Amino acid sequence: MPEGLSPIEAGKKVHEHTNQPHQPGTTRHSRTVQIGEALLLSLVTIAAAWSGYAAAKWGTESRFELAQAATLRNLATRADLSALSTRNFDSSTFTAWFTAFTLDDPQKQAIAARRFRPEFKVAFDAWMATDPFRNPRAPPGPTYMPQYRLADQAKAEALDREAVAASAAGHHAGVVGDDYIRITVFLAAVLFLVGIGSTFKLHTIRYALIGVGSLLLILATVLILQQPGLPG
């Protein structure tokens, strides 16, 4: 039968076991490092979630504003074409009247005048009041009078201004979204540092990585506070 351990050998084994160094995870420094890493990870996770959500919201806002700008430009183009068509009609009716006038045919002049639009008739009467056939300073025609206004032209100009504003808002929203994405990159670097820090056994290295990660987190927080809130 094999002989068991003697009392002296058993005592040596117990002594060696009690004098073994503690595992790194049970030391005070390890606990401090783990708590610091866990706290840093929690803060970074919250900041990264907010930054990513804000980037998505601003990206959506940018696409919406740019689409709105494109729609407004299309509407402005339609209104401008409609104004051009109206101006051509006014020119044709005035040309018919002027032809009758040069032929000294009052009946044809009256027929042509009846084709005037009400808005053009106002400008025509104002132009005739300037005595254009004897006054060298008179405007060349009714369309040069301040009374001559095209509703579609005014509408086109208003829509174009709205399109410019929407385009600027879309560009601004895109820039803000890019800024939030850049902040998310900083926060991802913090996650990388904390993750790689757990592979080191030297506490000094892990403390250094936690310090660098904390600085990046502070920088990201300052950048977040400098950004506008979520789009309304």
SS3 145: coil
Q: Which residue has the higher pLDDT, 5 or 66?
A: 66
**Lowest pLDDT segment from 5-9, 31-35, 153-157:** 5-9
| pLDDT for res 142 | 94
Closest CA to 91 of 132, 151, 144: 144
Could you tell me the pLDDT band of residue 48, with boundaries at 50, 70 and 90?
confident
pLDDT tens per residue, range 161-170: 999 999 999 9
| pLDDT for res 27 | 66
Answer whether residue 11 shows pLDDT above 70.
no
Boundaries of every domain in the chain: 28-226
Closest CA to 213 of 187, 180, 184: 187
| Torsion (CA) 150, 151, 153, 158 in degrees, nearest 10 | 150
Is 144 exposed, middle or buried, given 0-12, 13-18 or 19+ CB atoms closer than 10 A?
A: exposed
Answer whether residue 209 shows pLDDT above 90.
no
Answer whether residue 22 shows pLDDT above 60.
no
